Every structure is written in structure tokens, then in C-alpha cells.
């Protein structure tokens, strides 16, 4: 029987930085939608966006729970899977990363097959590709640019690569009800934007010290990296879901780099420009020469190893972090334009202004009131 009412979307990680932006984008610019199921382990700060004719349903759920995800996927048409554990510093065990990022994705895929879901969009990451442990650059790369991804720097990158490969392998599977599941994967870089900018959660640890002196730089100013605006990444997810539904041969089984017109530059320089209105700045030069920084990072890694049986020591300066922030790693989005019809919804100037507005709101709420 053909479904005549609007579509039902599931957004996992729907209260997270990207997920909440996708939910808002679906409400604002989605078409033929009757319900959006917002799935997250935490719903404390959930605020339902309003639009007549669209039901927004918050669901507290764990993507590794088969019974829960079976109920979540029942009657759904699209699953946009953004939920994952993100870890750069080694705060989370590799077992936990694999359980959530890989096994959780497999659970969702199986539930999609069992419940006749037709479209599955996976939020991967540029770290599924690199940088690798040698710090080989990828400059203005695309999905076919040769790159040795056999030695990812972080366990997080390994889990995203494994989950992405699985998602693409499941494309074209027949569902239990005789439909076909179509899947694709999107690979954004580190995102910025809005008052919910993820990095603010880290900066809050330092309180007003942030505003007293320039932040120390551990990356060379000449490095170029892709950092898209979160609103553009959310828009790409909508287009990917729509393409899987209407023209599955264009996107099914494909991975896409997602970027925008934000200038490719060192993250410290980008953050300095974005955070200037709230008085946070970065030094123009490295805090120490790079070889010395690496020596310190390796020494801290040794201390972590020695302390492991007795004490959990997690240094913020690691060889992997240094390699990531000092490797040219940026790409174009031509494939997404060609096959998904993707073009950035927000220009660089608009993205910057929206981020300024959000950060000013954040500073007034978190610091200026005290």
C-alpha cells in the first residue's frame, strides 16, 4: 500500500550540535513531513521547534538497544543517524567507541531493514579518511583522491571508517516488507556556529580566564583545514535524504565530503576571527617550536602509559592532536553538488554573522550576568 500521508523522519543524536540543527532545518525547509522523531540519550534541554502540520516527538533512546530502536523505526521513512561518541583526547575507552559508533549503527541498519525504512543518511567524518599517522596532506581533495587511510590517528576515526563502510555495504538491501533500503554517508569536517558551538563546552572549563589573554596556538598558521558552518552541513543532510527517496541511484552507496565557502585556514586563525566579537583571541605564533611540542606530547603519552594501572591521566596535548591540527586537510564538495544538488545555504559572511550573534548571546548568558 502506498503511503499517502507525509513522511516520518528519525534523527538520532537529535539534541546534539548537528542533530538539533538538522531537526530545525527539517521543520523550516523540509517538505511533505508529518513527523520528526528526535532520538537522544538526554532530552533535558530539548525545545520542540514549532510548525503547523509537523509533529515533533522527543524520544529518550539508546541506539545500541534493539528493542528501543525497533519501536523508533516502526513506520519511519528516513533515518538520519548523527548519534556517536566523539573522542579526540582518549577520554573514552575504545570498546565504548566501537559499541556505540559501530555496533549502534549496525543495530539501526538492521532495524531499518526489519521496519521497511527506505532511506538512511549516516553522519560520518573527515576523520574516517584522515589525516593518517604520517600526517599526509589532502589538499582540495575529493572522494576519488588517492589517500592512504590504513593508519588512522585516533580510535574515533577507525570507528567512523568502519561504520561508514558498513552503511555503504547495506545499500540496496531488501527490507522485510519488500522495499529497498538506500544508504549514503556524509563526511563533514569540524563544524562551527551558533550559541551551542561544541567547543564552548571545553572553553567553559576556563571561565573568564578565556578573556584575559590570547589563547596559545599549537598549530602552524600556514595550515589549511576544512571547517564548515553547521547550518550548511544540516542542509546537506536534508538534500541527501530527499535524494535517496526520489533519485536513489544518485546517492545510494555513496560517500560525500561536505564543506562550504568558509575559507580553508588554520583552526586557530578561524576561531580567532569567529570569536573576536566576544574578546577571545589566539596568538599569531606557536607557543613553542613544533619539535618541542611533539617531545612534550610523547613524554605525556609515556606518563599516561605508566600511570594507567593506578590512575587515569588524560593529557590534552597528544602526538595525534598535534598531527591533526598541523596537517593540511581540506576538500571540495563538487560531488555533493553534482549528485545531491548541494550548494551552501549560508554564505561565509552569513555563517560568520550567525556565529557572532550566537557567541555574543552565549557570553551574555554564561559570563556577563555574573
pLDDT in tens, the chain (370 residues): 344 479 999 999 999 889 999 999 999 998 899 999 999 998 877 777 777 789 999 999 999 999 999 999 999 999 999 999 988 888 888 999 999 999 999 999 999 999 999 999 999 999 999 999 999 999 999 999 999 998 888 999 999 999 999 999 999 999 999 999 999 999 999 899 876 565 555 455 555 666 677 878 899 989 999 999 999 999 999 999 999 999 999 999 999 999 999 999 888 888 888 888 888 888 888 889 999 999 999 999 999 888 888 888 888 889 999 999 999 999 999 999 999 999 999 999 999 999 988 888 877 776 665 4
CA 305 to centroid of chain Cα atoms? 29
Residue 225 is classified by DSSP as: B
Q: Are 156 and 86 in contact (CB under 8 A)?
A: yes
- Specify the pTM: 0.92
Residue 192 appears among annotated catalytic residues: no
Residues contacting 179, CB < 8 A, separation 6+ = 116, 118
Q: Give the CA distances from residue 369 to residues 197, 207, 274, 363, 364, in Å, rounded to whole numbers and listed in that order.
A: 20, 13, 22, 9, 6
Q: Give the CA distances from residue 20 to residues 46, 184, 197, 342, in Å, rounded to whole numbers and listed in that order.
A: 9, 20, 12, 20
Residues contacting 246, CB < 8 A, separation 6+ = none
Q: Of the listed 156, 192, 229, 330, which one is catalytic?
A: 156
HSE toward the beta carbon, residue 291, CA cutoff 13 A: 0
- All domains of the chain in start order, with CATH: 7-198+227-260+330-348 (3.40.50.720)
Amino acid at each position: 500500500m502506498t503511503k499517502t500521508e507525509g513522511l516520518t523522519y528519525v534523527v538520532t543524536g537529535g539534541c546534539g550540535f548537528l542533530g538539533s540543527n538538522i531537526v530545525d532545518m527539517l521543520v523550516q525547509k523540509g517538505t511533505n513531513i508529518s513527523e520528526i522523531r528526535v532520538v537522544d540519550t538526554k532530552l533535558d534541554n530539548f525545545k520542540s521547534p514549532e510548525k503547523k502540520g509537523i509533529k515533533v516527538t522527543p524520544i529518550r533512546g539508546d541506539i545500541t538497544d534493539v528493542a528501543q530502536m525497533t519501536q523508533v523505526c516502526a513506520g519511519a521513512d528516513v533515518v538520519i543517524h548523527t548519534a556517536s561518541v566523539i573522542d579526540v583526547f582518549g577520554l573514552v575507552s575504545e570498546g565504548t567507541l566501537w559499541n556505540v559508533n559501530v555496533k549502534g549503527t549496525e543495530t539501526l541498519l538492521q532495524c531499518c531493514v526489519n521496519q521497511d525504512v527506505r532511506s538512511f543518511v549516516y553522519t560520518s567524518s573527515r576523520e574516517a579518511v584522515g589525516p593518517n599517522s604520517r600526517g599526509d596532506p589532502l589538499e582540495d581533495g575529493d572522494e576519488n583522491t588517492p589517500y592512504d587511510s590504513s593508519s588512522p590517528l585516533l580510535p574515533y576515526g577507525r570507528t567512523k571508517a568502519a561504520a561508514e563502510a558498513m552503511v555503504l555495504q547495506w545499500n540496496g538491501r531488501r527490507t522485510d516488507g519488500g522495499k529497498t533500503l538506500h544508504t549514503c554517508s556524509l563526511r563533514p569536517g569540524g563544524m562551527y556556529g551558533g550559541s551551542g558551538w561544541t567547543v564552548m563546552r571545553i572553553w567553559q572549563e576556563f571561565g573568564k580566564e578565556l578573556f584575559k589573554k590570547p589563547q596559545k596556538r599549537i598549530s602552524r598558521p600556514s595550515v589549511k583545514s576544512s571547517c564548515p558552518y553547521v547550518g550548511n552541513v544540516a542542509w546537506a543532510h536534508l538534500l541527501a535524504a530527499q535524494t535517496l527517496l526520489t533519485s536513489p541511484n544518485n546517492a545510494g552507496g555513496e560517500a560525500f565530503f561536505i564543506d562550504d565557502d568558509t575559507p580553508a585556514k588554520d583552526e586557530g586563525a578561524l576561531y580567532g576571527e569567529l570569536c573576536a566579537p566576544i574578546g577571545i583571541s589566539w596568538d599569531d605564533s606557536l607557543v613553542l617550536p613544533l619539535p618541542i611540542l611533539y617531545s612534550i606530547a610523547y613524554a605525556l603519552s609515556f606518563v599516561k602509559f605508566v600511570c594507567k594501572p593506578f590512575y587515569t591521566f588524560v593529557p590534552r596535548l597528544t602526538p595525534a592532536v598535534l598531527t591533526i591540527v598541523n596537517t593540511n586537510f581540506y576538500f571540495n564538495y563538487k560531488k555533493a553538488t553534482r549528485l545531491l544538488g548541494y550548494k551552501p545555504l549560508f554564505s561565509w559572511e552569513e555563517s560568520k554573522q550567525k556565529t557572532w550573534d550566537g557567541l555574543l548571546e552565549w557570553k551574555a548568558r554564561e559570563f556577563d550576568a555574573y
